[in-house]
């Protein structure tokens, strides 16, 4: 019997060699320095071509495929029939393994959970339909920090283990020393063990093998194929920086280096299994060179395994995790804390990208919202008019184009704003092109429900708009239509006048803002007729119920004259708030919540951080990193204010001038205070739109909200719009300011014992509380530096755009705001979709019935994926599928918005009958619960149970109970209708 000794809490066999799992992979950024097409041409297509050919030559070789976009492009446009046959065989044998399976390896800091789920669903649908496989492991090696939402979503998708890499350098160091790089992560405090997942953190070498060889002066280590070349791969196959080949003379030196690295890694983990990632960025495009050098090296190590104390084998990620799972250890638990922000060394906090390329972040979120609206509308249309004139293939093509574009930009060098300008332009072009296609689809779905014979007549003094509510809640809200006439009257589809307000536009001297009060049921649309007049209208019948609002302009105030303030306060009231503006400064002075009877001193203005652009002068800021020269300084010298009192909304416009004498303002805040109409309009929502730019070079601009709240610099921000995280201010030896910045995807708030100040956002930003009572949001950055790496890859951020983001602000008690902010964040994200159209006369009121969920549930998805699925996996696998899209299968996701214990009523589990809830759409015939991305029937999903403590539970029929923070996914078939 082999003698064993006790190490920590693990018995290690004295003579047992370290078992090394060599995992061949290529990290391929879906857009970063080069566009997707450039990458496909230069190397990405070659990766899959050569890997397929090389794996087919030797049974022990393996490869993991991670980013689906490149694989799908290769499969659809490059792969031969022979390659496809080989791939199917390799997948069947488990030698080519799809990991994550999403369209991209998504960022974790600034992505929204809607889009994370979408990009995974698209990738999983393709893989399941094409190969009958379902990814069960993640490989999140490159996102800049790790969110606690990701492991929850991966668990919901049926994953058995999760892998991360980029976490704070000092934390990783401590975890390595204490062998705590592996743990069971309970990402959600409400779902707890139900959706926990085993998580492996990569050690300090991350996902690449060591590049420096002690016996060679080349820096490509174990990548014998050298460095990828753009724009064209070399015709002779000789790439720059190719490593020394493995020969009789070099094999021993290679083996010694590899074994030393394996042993170094082994010391940081609890089992004697070592994950040795073999690959790096843009590798394996010439994989015959790779495998033909690694094969003899591994053979040599195994022949001398007794001497080396190490064995090596090619492996997929599942083979590694299987070995860890079978070790049957009891693992340490990690709660719902995340790994954000991320730092690589004392002066490098990766918190700048939370705000980089604000325009791209905004366009990506708008495209996602437009997609969600179009998905719900097309689903309703298909169920109601299966033979309607909108061609289903055409419609699905339009939706799939936007799904692809929205999925692709979630890449960790996409929505992060960390790509080159050329790549940013590529993402924007893809998003805008696909959005235009979906605009066509939306127009067709509204205008062609029955027949094609709708006469189109343009009448200059009339405009028709359709407002569609994409949420499964009833809403009373204000929509804003830009018009070119000074006078208008608005009528609904019954011909009744509708409350409205018209005024000069905040952003243009030649247009007008027309605010219309709309009441819409869940998933309902209504038509509105706008009648214009070039003259002032006279009499009730012509004016309808439209109020013409006029502004009052206040004198420009220079900050050098702010000697005495707070003497002349001007109130703006609605039923929820009293806002006081200071005429001595033209800034906000305080807000009183009238229902809670609390007053909070509050100002809002713009400040900027100045940053260094010269690497010789100290730390720099760039696309990724935020490193300020010092505290923020005021970004303006004078403020102008205009107040436009209204009957629908009162608007306060504040213009901030960089210099006292400037003709044009650089920054502005437009605050809209809505009036209440009965109890139905949300008066607690203060809607703010900002304008910023162009900025001076090497400035990062923040909106600073300073209040009398005593929050002790503690902040709460959301992880991916899914859950709120407490962010306690921490002091560091260096870079304290930047390391206390956090991502805000949908929401952030500060609070004290009495009050909470909430901001919800229409795109991602960086957010911090640098002083007591302060909440600052980084909205825009413009940077240039001379770091050779950044200059070489064109990764400076000389962003001269003018941006116009929106935040909604709420102030109230903790209990009152807890009931509101999640819904408000969703309502900002999914505002009514406005479709302008011209017809001879509008048809009568739409007969569409509303779909309304309880207030604590949100309709996350209602779509027709089009992918072919099978509940019986064995049947599915035996088919060589290339079938028509499935138009009858509807994918439904419902999410519980509240955390356990957050609200006495709204945090309770909710039981609903889906047949009843969805009867406004059609008659539900079949209901089948699925995993998050749809590929598993939930009854057959048996995830690995990692040893920690507790266990699970299940459900039945059309009645489902949804617990706090749960996301439940279903496939639904509706009874067919014959028209």
Cite the active site residues. 142
The DSSP element (H or E) to which 322 belongs, if any, is helix 317-326
Q: Which two tokens stand for residue 660?
A: 């006292």
Among the listed residues 349, 144, 336, 193, the one whose alpha carbon sits nearest the alpha carbon of residue 725: 336
Q: Which two tokens stand for residue 651?
A: 């608007």
Question: In three state form, how does the secondary structure of 513-526 look?
Answer: EEEEEEEECCCCEE
Residues in the chain: 979
Dist CA 648 CA 651 (whole Å): 10
Cα→Cα distances 32→43, 297, 799, Å: 14, 33, 17
Dist CA 677 CA 575 (whole Å): 10
Q: What is the CA radius of gyration of the chain?
A: 29
Helix, strand, coil percentages, rounded to 5, for the chain? 25, 30, 45
Check: CB of residue 466 under 8 Å from CB of residue 837. Answer: yes
Among the listed residues 7, 27, 6, 2, the one whose alpha carbon sits nearest the alpha carbon of residue 268: 7
Q: Is the peptide bond before 694 cis (omega within 30 degrees of 0)?
A: yes
Question: In three state form, how does the secondary structure of 11-62 look?
Answer: EEECCCCEEEEEEEECECCCCCCCCHHHHHHHHHHHHHHHHHHHHCCCCCCC
Alpha-helical (H) ranges within 169-210 are: 169-177
- Assign residue 794 a region: left if phi > 0, alpha if psi is -120 to 50, beta otherwise? left
Among the listed residues 355, 368, 358, the one whose alpha carbon sits nearest the alpha carbon of residue 831: 368
Dist CA 137 CA 219 (whole Å): 31
Alpha-helical (H) ranges within 719-872 are: 736-739, 788-792, 814-829
Q: Which two tokens stand for residue 433?
A: 């092109």
Among the listed residues 842, 833, 832, 835, the one whose alpha carbon sits nearest the alpha carbon of residue 462: 842
Dist CA 365 CA 559 (whole Å): 36
Please name the residues in contact with 863: beta carbons below 8 A apart, sequence gap of 6 or more. Answer: 375, 376, 378, 379, 399, 890, 891
Phi/psi for 173 (5° steps) reads -60, -45
Question: In three state form, how does the secondary structure of 724-744 look?
Answer: EEEECCCCCCCCHHHHCCEEE
Residue 598 sits at the vertex; the CA angle it makes with 594 and 600, to the nearest 5 degrees, is 115
User: Which residue reads 């040893």 in tokens?
Assistant: 947
């Amino acid at each position: 019997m082999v003698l064993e000794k006790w190490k920590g809490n693990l018995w290690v066999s004295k003579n047992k060699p370290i078992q090394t799992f060599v995992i061949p992979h290529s990290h391929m950024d879906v857009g970063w320095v080069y566009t997707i097409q450039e990458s496909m041409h230069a190397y990405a297509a070659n990766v899959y071509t050569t890997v397929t050919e090389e794996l087919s030559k030797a049974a022990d070789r393996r490869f993991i495929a991670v980013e689906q976009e490149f694989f799908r492009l290769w499969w659809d446009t490059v792969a031969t029939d022979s390659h496809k046959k080989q791939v199917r065989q390799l997948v069947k044998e488990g030698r080519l393994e799809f990991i994550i399976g999403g369209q991209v390896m998504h960022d974790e800091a600034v992505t929204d959970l809607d889009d994370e789920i979408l990009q995974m669903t698209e990738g999983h649908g393709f893989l399941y339909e094409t190969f009958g496989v379902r990814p069960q492991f993640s490989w999140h090696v490159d996102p800049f920090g790790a969110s606690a939402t990701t492991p929850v979503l991966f668990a919901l998708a049926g994953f058995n283990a999760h892998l991360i890499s980029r976490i704070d350098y000092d934390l990783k160091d401590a975890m390595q020393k204490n062998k705590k790089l592996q743990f069971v992560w309970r990402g959600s405090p409400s779902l707890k063990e139900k959706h926990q997942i085993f998580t492996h953190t990569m050690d300090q070498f991350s996902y690449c093998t060591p590049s420096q060889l002690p016996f060679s002066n080349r820096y490509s280590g174990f990548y014998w194929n050298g460095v990828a070349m753009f724009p064209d791969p070399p015709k002779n196959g000789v790439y720059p920086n190719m490593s020394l080949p493995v020969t009789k003379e070099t094999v021993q030196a290679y083996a010694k280096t590899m074994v030393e690295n394996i042993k170094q890694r082994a010391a940081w983990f609890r089992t004697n299994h070592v994950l040795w990632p073999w690959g790096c960025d843009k590798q394996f495009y010439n994989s015959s060179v790779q495998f033909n050098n690694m094969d003899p090296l591994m053979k040599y190590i195994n022949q001398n395994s007794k001497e080396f104390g190490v064995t090596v084998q090619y492996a997929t990620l599942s083979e590694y995790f299987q070995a860890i799972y079978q070790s049957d250890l009891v693992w340490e638990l990690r709660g719902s804390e995340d790994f954000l922000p991320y730092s690589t060394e004392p002066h490098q906090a990766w918190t700048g990208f939370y705000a980089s390329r604000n325009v791209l972040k905004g366009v990506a979120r708008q495209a996602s919202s437009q997609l969600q609206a179009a998905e719900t509308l097309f689903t309703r249309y298909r169920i109601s008019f299966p033979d309607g004139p909108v061609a289903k293939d055409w419609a699905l093509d339009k939706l799939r184009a936007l799904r692809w574009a929205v999925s692709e930009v979630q890449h960790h060098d996409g929505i992060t704003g960390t790509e080159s300008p050329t790549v940013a332009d590529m993402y924007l072009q893809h998003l805008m092109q696909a959005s235009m296609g979906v605009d066509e689809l939306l127009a067709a779905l509204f205008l062609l429900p029955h027949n094609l014979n709708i006469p189109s007549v343009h009448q200059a003094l009339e405009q028709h708009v359709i407002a569609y509510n994409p949420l499964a809640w009833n809403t009373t809200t204000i929509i804003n239509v830009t018009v070119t006439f000074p006078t208008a009257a608005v009528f609904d589809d019954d011909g009744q006048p509708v409350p409205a307000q018209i005024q000069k536009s905040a952003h243009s001297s030649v247009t007008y803002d027309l605010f219309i009060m709309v009441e819409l049921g869940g998933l309902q649309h209504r038509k509105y007729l706008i009648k214009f007049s070039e003259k002032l209208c006279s009499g009730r019948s012509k004016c309808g119920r439209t109020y013409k609002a006029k502004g009052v302009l206040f004198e420009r105030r220079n900050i050098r004259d702010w000697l005495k303030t707070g003497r002349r306060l001007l109130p703006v009231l609605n039923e929820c708030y009293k806002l006081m503006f200071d005429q001595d400064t033209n800034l906000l002075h305080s807000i009183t919540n009238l229902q809670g009877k609390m007053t909070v001193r509050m100002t809002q203005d713009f400040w900027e951080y100045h940053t260094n652009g010269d690497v010789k002068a100290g730390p720099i800021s760039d696309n990724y990193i935020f490193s300020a020269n010092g505290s923020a300084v005021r970004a303006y010298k004078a403020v102008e204010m205009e107040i436009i009192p209204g009957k629908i909304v009162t608007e306060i416009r504040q213009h901030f001038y960089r210099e006292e004498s400037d003709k044009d303002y650089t920054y502005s805040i437009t605050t809209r205070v809505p009036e209440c109409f009965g109890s139905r309009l949300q008066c607690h929502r203060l809607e703010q739109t900002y304008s910023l730019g162009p900025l001076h070079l090497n400035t990062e601009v923040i909106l600073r909200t300073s209040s009398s709240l005593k929050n002790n610099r503690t902040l709460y921000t959301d992880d991916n719009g899914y859950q709120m995280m407490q962010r306690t201010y921490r002091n560091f030896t260096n870079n304290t300011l930047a390391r206390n910045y956090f991502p805000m995807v949908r929401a952030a708030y500060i609070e004290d014992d009495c009050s909470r100040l909430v901001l919800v956002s229409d795109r991602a930003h960086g957010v911090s509380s640098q002083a007591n009572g302060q909440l600052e949001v980084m909205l825009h950055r413009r940077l240039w530096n001379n770091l050779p790496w950044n200059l070489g890859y064109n990764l400076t951020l000389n962003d001269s755009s003018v941006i116009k983001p929106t935040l909604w602000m709420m102030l109230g008690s903790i209990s009152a705001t807890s009931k509101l902010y999640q819904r408000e964040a969703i309502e900002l994200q999914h505002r009514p979709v406005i479709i302008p159209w011209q017809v001879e006369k509008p048809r009568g009121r739409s007969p569409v019935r509303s779909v309304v969920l309880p207030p604590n549930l949100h309709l996350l998805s209602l779509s027709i994926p089009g992918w072919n699925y099978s509940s019986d996996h064995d049947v599915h696998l035996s088919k060589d599928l290339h079938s028509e899209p499935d138009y009858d299968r509807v994918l439904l996701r419902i999410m519980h918005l509240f955390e356990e214990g957050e609200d006495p009523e709204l945090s309770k589990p909710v039981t609903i009958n889906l047949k009843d809830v969805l009867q406004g759409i059609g008659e539900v015939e079949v209901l089948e619960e699925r995993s998050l991305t749809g590929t598993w029937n939930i009854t057959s999903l048996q995830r690995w149970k990692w040893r920690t403590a507790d266990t699970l539970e299940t459900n039945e029929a059309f009645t489902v109970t949804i617990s706090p923070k749960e996301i439940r996914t279903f496939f639904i078939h509706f009874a067919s209708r014959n028209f």
